[in-house]
Amino acid sequence: MNERANRVAHGLLTAGLQSGDAIGLYMSRSVGRCVAVIAVFKAGLTVVPLDRSWPRERLLFMAEQSGIKGLLAEDPQHASELATDLPVFTEAQFGQLSLDNPDIAINPKAAAWVLFTSGSTGQPKGVLYSHAAAAYRVRWFWGTYGFNVDERFAHRSSCNFIDAYWEIFGPLAHGATVVVPQAEADAHPAILLRDLQRHGVTHLVAVPSLLHTMFDIAASAGTTQQLKLRSVICSGEVLQPELLAQLRRALPAVRVFNTYGTTETWDAAVHIYEPGVGGNSISIGRPLPGVAAWVLDQQLKPLPVGVWGQLHVGGVGLSLGYVGSAAQP
């Protein structure tokens, strides 16, 4: 994988892309996409994921806003779906280039990726996230919670969502294994369940609604015990006590992480439910070390315990800012 990524990185640099340039990843979830993400980082470039399943108009908006200089695709014909004049690159075209690591110094404060918000409060915004903040989150989570090199992480999240980078770099940075479920698993929880069982996946990140459906299917089929899961991260939706109880019944030894964050902060807080621990109320936990969180009123003044307010987050996990208004290193 490292040699494949090196070839792509050399190819992108040979094509004239320069450190700090943004490049669009117009790819479906695959091992090749993992290689592409690593290659872009090695070349000192910024990843802008463009999920092929998303509407063309949204992808064009994201490409324009982030100022990408080209597209990295699985097949050059795929790029015609976007109908842009951007240069298109594929891993195959760089097959004869060097296998050595590129001699590129990566600025830790530089942007590793641009991820776009949902736009639920207006126009989607491109959020720049630094290499330093991403590396901190990966190292801290792995080291704090005692993952091992025999872990098998499922990489099922879209690269448009920040959880995907934990699924890739959590295991790869520590010598563990990434398992990439087949594309059909996105729409069919039963297929995802079979992939997790077949490949002995030990760690999964998923929204609570997907977990609920998947464990219902496993219970109905009597195949729950075929799962090798040791830990589950609930992300993206509210974790309800009923789901936690369901997970406890299905896999009593599984650790359940409830994470709370946004595109701008990754995980602002985390709470772990160790085996045997449940509860009638669910906590989002405490801020990560180096992350500060305050509940403030509209005048940005701290509120006492038990009073509703807005959550403000700062510290090491905070993004660089939005495209067009970020403080660039």
- pLDDT digit string, tens, across residues 135-152: 999 999 999 999 999 999
What's the rounded Cα separation, in Å, for the pair 95 and 240?
49
Q: Are residues 49 and 164 in the same domain?
A: no
Pick 278 or 135 by higher pLDDT. Answer: 135
For 66-92, the pLDDT digits (tens) are 999 999 999 888 878 887 889 999 999
Give mean pLDDT, residues 201-223: 96
Give mean pLDDT, residues 44-51: 95
Q: Quick check: is 74 in a domain? A: yes
The whole-number pLDDT of residue 329 equals 44
Q: Are residues 187 and 65 in the same domain?
A: no
The whole-number pLDDT of residue 186 equals 87
What's the rounded Cα separation, in Å, for the pair 168 and 152?
11
Q: Are residues 150 and 283 in the same domain?
A: yes
Q: Are residues 135 and 199 in the same domain?
A: yes
Q: Are residues 20 and 62 in the same domain?
A: yes
Q: Quick check: is 162 in a domain? A: yes
Give mean pLDDT, residues 34-58: 94
CATH at 47: 3.40.50.980
E strands along the chain, which residues?
Answer: 22-26, 46-49, 71-73, 88-89, 111-116, 126-130, 152-154, 177-179, 203-206, 231-234, 255-262, 266-273, 286-287, 291-296, 310-315, 321-322
Q: Are residues 92 and 140 in the same domain?
A: no
Give bridge partners of residue 314 from the DSSP assignment.
Answer: 292
For 28-40, the pLDDT digits (tens) are 899 999 999 999 9
- For residue 94, pLDDT beyond 70: yes
Beta strands at 177-179 and 152-154: parallel, antiparallel or unpaired: parallel
From 106, 139, 159, the end of a domain falls on 106
Give mean pLDDT, residues 253-268: 92
CATH at 265: 3.40.50.12780
The whole-number pLDDT of residue 326 equals 53
What's the rounded Cα separation, in Å, for the pair 182 and 156?
9
Pick 153 or 51 by higher pLDDT. Answer: 153
Q: Are residues 152 and 261 in the same domain?
A: yes
The whole-number pLDDT of residue 280 equals 80
- For residue 210, pLDDT beyond 80: yes
Q: Are residues 282 and 160 in the same domain?
A: yes
The whole-number pLDDT of residue 84 equals 82
From 68, 89, 106, the end of a domain falls on 106
Q: Is 213 exposed, middle or buried, given 0-12, 13-18 or 19+ CB atoms closer than 10 A? A: middle
- For residue 45, pLDDT beyond 50: yes
Q: Are residues 264 and 304 in the same domain?
A: yes
What's the rounded Cα separation, in Å, for the pair 286 and 48?
30
At 224, is the pLDDT very low, low, confident or very high (cuts 50, 70, 90)?
A: very high
Q: Are residues 41 and 77 in the same domain?
A: yes
Our count of domains for the chain comes to: 2
What's the rounded Cα separation, in Å, for the pair 263 and 247?
27
Q: Quick check: is 114 in a domain? A: no
Instruction: Give me the domain span that covers residue 25.
Output: 2-106
Q: Are residues 145 and 282 in the same domain?
A: yes
- Averaged pLDDT score across all residues of the chain: 93
Give the helix/strand (H/E) hosting 248: helix 241-250
The answer to whether 151 and 177 have CB atoms below 8 angstroms apart is yes
Q: Are residues 58 and 138 in the same domain?
A: no
Pick 325 or 114 by higher pLDDT. Answer: 114
Q: Quick check: is 259 in a domain? A: yes
At 165, is the pLDDT very low, low, confident or very high (cuts 50, 70, 90)?
A: very high
At 294, is the pLDDT very low, low, confident or very high (cuts 50, 70, 90)?
A: very high
The answer to whether 22 and 68 have CB atoms below 8 angstroms apart is yes
For 188-209, the pLDDT digits (tens) are 999 999 999 999 999 999 999 9
What's the alpha-carbon Rg for the chain, to the nearest Å?
20
- For residue 248, pLDDT beyond 50: yes
From 72, 106, 140, the end of a domain falls on 106
The whole-number pLDDT of residue 81 equals 84
Q: Quick check: is 122 in a domain? A: no
Give mean pLDDT, residues 272-286: 87
Q: Quick check: is 115 in a domain? A: no
At 8, is the pLDDT very low, low, confident or very high (cuts 50, 70, 90)?
A: very high
